Amino acid sequence: MALLSVHDLHVYLGESHVLQGITFDVREGGVTAILGRNGVGKTTTLRALMGLVDRRGTIEFGGTDIRQVPTHKIVRLGVGYVPEDRDVFAALTVDENLRLAERGAETRYDLVYDLFPELRDRGKQAAGTLSGGQQQMLAIGRALLNDNRVLLVDEPTKGLSPLLVTEVAVALERVSELTTVLLVEQNLGLVQRVAHDAVVLDTGRVVHAGPAKELLENKPMVHRMLGVG
């Protein structure tokens, strides 16, 4: 059974019909990647799932329709979110950013510091003064702090050096052993490494959904759908 089911999801941003009735499932465990060229609605899909934009259609999470549920309650159902631009709170310290993300008594600081030891060392540093890679670690760490059932991760490697991309990939692999991940990513190398399933979007519609390996090994298909390879 799918952990997350999206059916006929529509989103309008101003005059633009960004998501035009997308339908896909995310199975429990592992990583499902959302792929597609720039501007096809990948980020909007995650924002719609989080309730951060107005949307129409059905979104079922663990069998519950969450379309009418406000964002903070969606999160409390066990949905973690790592946004595209990290959105760490620049004026707050690393410790304060993490503390803000705490929900309930049981937090997983051990896991966060195990994956990203730098966050412990830089606890008193203002998040706005961290490098891009460190901010990404903080954004992921913040989402990992609670025992979420699914993590929505939006382009975690955007703007990172190859070394940091590897570090993020290792973290995602580790995370995917603990929880389900819905990953938006342009880096196909990373997708190949971590994803089990893939959903491909094109101009606001799902044009392919299935095992990631099957898609990525089919070079003509990758070229046609993603414009690479």
Partner 1 sequence: MSTFLLLTITGLGLGAMYFLIASGLSLIYGLMGVLNFAHGVFITVTGYTLWFTESKLGGVPVLPRFLIAALVGLIVGTVFAALVELVLIRPLYGRHIEQVLVTVGVALAVTALVTAIWGSDARVVAAPAWVGDTTTIFGAHIPNDRWLEIGTAAVVLFALEAFLRRTRYGLIVRAGVENRSMVTALGIDVRRSFTLVFAIGGLAAGIAAVLYTLYSTTVDPQQGTSLVIFAFIVVVIGGLGSIRGTAWAAVIVGLVQQYANYYASSGLGDLSVVLLLGIVLIARPSGLSRSFA
Residue 84 lies near partner 1 (rule: CB under 8 A): no
Residue 24 lies near partner 1 (rule: CB under 8 A): no
CB of 183 to partner 1, least distance (A): 17
Rg (CA), the chain: 17
Residue 76 lies near partner 1 (rule: CB under 8 A): yes
CB of 89 to partner 1, least distance (A): 5
Residue 87 lies near partner 1 (rule: CB under 8 A): yes
Contacting range for partner 1; rule: CB under 8 A; set: 23-31, 99-107, 175-183, 199-207: 99-107
CB of 153 to partner 1, least distance (A): 13
CA distance 205 to 116: 36
CB 41 within 8 A of CB 201: yes
CB of 88 to partner 1, least distance (A): 9
Q: Is the dihedral of CA 155, 151, 223, 190 positive or negative?
A: positive
CB of 157 to partner 1, least distance (A): 20
HSE of 63, CA atoms in CB hemisphere, 13 A: 1
Comparing CB distances to partner 1, the nearer of 124 and 177 is 124
Residue choice 140, 142, 198, 201 for contact with partner 1 (CB under 8 A): 142
Residue 101 lies near partner 1 (rule: CB under 8 A): yes
Q: Taking Cα atoms as reference points, which of 212, 220, 206 lies closest to residue 40?
A: 206
Q: Taking Cα atoms as reference points, which of 43, 22, 37 lies closest to residue 182?
A: 43
Q: Is the dihedral of CA 95, 99, 101, 106 positive or negative?
A: positive
Interface with partner 1: number of residues (CB under 8 A): 21
CB of 208 to partner 1, least distance (A): 28
- Report the SS3 class of residue 226: helix
Residue 42 lies near partner 1 (rule: CB under 8 A): no
CB 137 within 8 A of CB 123: no
Residue choice 2, 52, 111, 221 for contact with partner 1 (CB under 8 A): 52
Residue 13 lies near partner 1 (rule: CB under 8 A): no
Residue 41: left if φ>0, alpha if ψ -120 to 50, beta else—which one?
left
Helix 162-178 vs helix 132-144: angle between axes, to the nearest 10 degrees? 0
Binding footprint of partner 1 on the chain (CB under 8 A): 50, 52, 70-72, 75-76, 81, 83, 87, 89-92, 96, 99-101, 103, 142, 146
